[in-house]
């Protein structure tokens, strides 16, 4: 069976967490198209599935692909997650997962949010409200939930990646990132991403 290419967050951040590079609650101070036809640079191969490229289109009513994420969704305001929508062939998925990370953080990939076991019919997320039964893994700040962008100086790119999973992960809430990474890697059958930016001077 051929392999899908998935964002490097599913392997690189594991090393960061083991090394203790998660950082504090301020997000990353420590540490194009929404559905590309070929995987972005921050990608790796190794998932046993027949999906070679991104098949989901991820959008947000708060910002466009490659655009600025509103201040309201950062640590400088309420900091709620921006709304997300996705569409495309989920290839018979039985669950959905969402991973948000910043590859520009000083310590390397910083994971802001890991959501898994969303019902398969879910096609959007609005703020921090999650459907019943949905779970969240520990992020780089050590909390099971969303950590808003709060980068140091410079422009940072935030990848909002949606994965269609062939089955629910079976993980409990507040699982480790490594356990969530492994489960998502093993069961992903489709994916797509939206990238937004935050720039601090």
pLDDT tens sequence for the chain (201 residues): 444 455 555 544 444 333 333 333 345 654 333 333 333 332 333 333 344 467 899 999 999 999 999 999 999 999 999 999 999 999 899 999 999 999 898 888 889 999 999 999 999 999 888 999 999 999 999 999 999 999 988 999 999 999 999 999 999 999 998 889 889 888 888 899 999 999 986
Give which of 153, 170, 151 is closest to 28, Cα–Cα. 151
Strand (E) or helix (H) holding 117: strand 110-118
Strands 110-118 and 135-136: antiparallel
Tell me, yes or no, if the pTM score tops 0.85.
no
Domains located in the chain, CATH noted = 3-200 (3.90.280.10)
* Pairwise CA distance, residues 187 & 166, whole Å: 5
């Amino acid at each position: 069976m051929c392999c899908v290419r998935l964002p490097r967050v599913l392997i690189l951040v594991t090393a960061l967490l083991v090394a203790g590079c998660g950082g504090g609650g301020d997000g990353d101070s420590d540490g194009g198209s929404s559905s590309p036809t070929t995987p972005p640079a921050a990608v790796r191969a190794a998932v046993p599935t027949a999906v070679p490229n991104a098949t989901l289109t991820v959008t947000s009513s708060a910002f466009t692909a490659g655009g600025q994420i509103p201040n309201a969704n950062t640590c400088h305001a309420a900091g709620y997650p921006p709304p997300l929508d996705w569409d495309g062939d989920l290839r018979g998925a039985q669950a959905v997962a969402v991973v948000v990370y910043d590859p520009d953080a000083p310590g390397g990939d910083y994971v802001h949010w890991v959501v898994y076991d969303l019902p398969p019919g879910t096609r959007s997320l609005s703020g921090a409200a999650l459907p019943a039964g949905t779970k969240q893994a520990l992020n780089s700040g050590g909390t099971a939930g969303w950590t808003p962008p709060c980068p140091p100086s410079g422009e940072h790119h935030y990848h909002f990646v949606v994965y269609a999973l062939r089955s629910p992960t079976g993980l409990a809430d507040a699982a480790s990132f490594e356990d969530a990474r492994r489960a998502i890697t093993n069961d992903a059958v489709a994916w797509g991403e939206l990238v937004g930016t935050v720039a601090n001077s």
